[in-house]
Amino acid sequence: MNEWIKQLTDWFLETTHLGGYSILLLTIPLAVVQGIFGVFPFATIVMLHISLLGIMNGLLASWIAGTAAGMIVYLMCGYFFADWFNRKWMGKLQKYEKWQKGLDRYGVWAVIFLRTVPIMPNNLISFMSAISNLKMRSYTWSNLVGNLSSIWLFGILSASIVFPGVNLRELIVSYAVFLILLGIVFVVRNRSISNKKSGMTP
């Protein structure tokens, strides 16, 4: 285990006296802060969870924290802090304009893709979703799946750092299967939509 991770873990345990999944009482608020201000990478929370809970439980805790934070930031931006967001972040979103258009066009799938591939910060994805035409129900689903994909991938990349020599074969294979299934659903869904549009064309 890297020394800085050990120090961070020890500090959390000594300060909070929390153990197991009760650590979420601290890491969910931290994830919300990260989701609003982006002052530190979410990967820090993931590695902390993995260090405290092990690989599988750590990834599950990270998924819970990331999903909760994504929903809270989305709701805060859409219903409470829209004006503040426009003043603070709209200028930064200009360089992501093509992704905003992609989000408006593909909705759920764009959020999943952006969560999985580290193209832009997580907080901007939540903000962009809040100002797009994406409905809350669709965002909720994409937030769940997108965070699962993102954290699963990061778990594969970071687990060997936290636990050197660990066998990640099952984690890698299961993630590959997950991506294949997700791709199949995407293709089938888009074909179904295209066929419906074609059927409606006179």
Distance CA 74, CA 143 (A): 10
For the chain (length 202 residues), average pLDDT per consecutive 10? Answer: 61 76 87 82 84 88 93 82 62 59 69 80 78 80 90 83 77 91 84 62 50
Nearest to 25, CA basis, from 73, 75, 61: 61
Q: How many CB atoms lie within 10 A of CB 159?
A: 22
Cβ(77)–Cβ(126) below 8 Å: yes
Task: Quickly count: other Cβ atoms within 10 Å of residue 170's Cβ.
Answer: 9
Q: Which residue has the tokens 């200009």?
A: 94
Q: Is 52 exposed, middle or buried (0-12, 13-18, 19+ CB in 10 A)?
A: buried
Residue 134's pLDDT is 75
Q: What is the pLDDT of residue 68?
A: 93
Taking the C-alpha atoms of residue 124 and residue 130, their distance in angstroms, rounded to an integer, is 10
pLDDT at residue number 129: 79
Rounded distance between C-alpha atoms, residue 151 and residue 147, angstroms: 6
* pLDDT at site 64: 94
For residue 46 the two structure tokens come to 């993931």
Residue tagged 């093509």 (tokens): 98
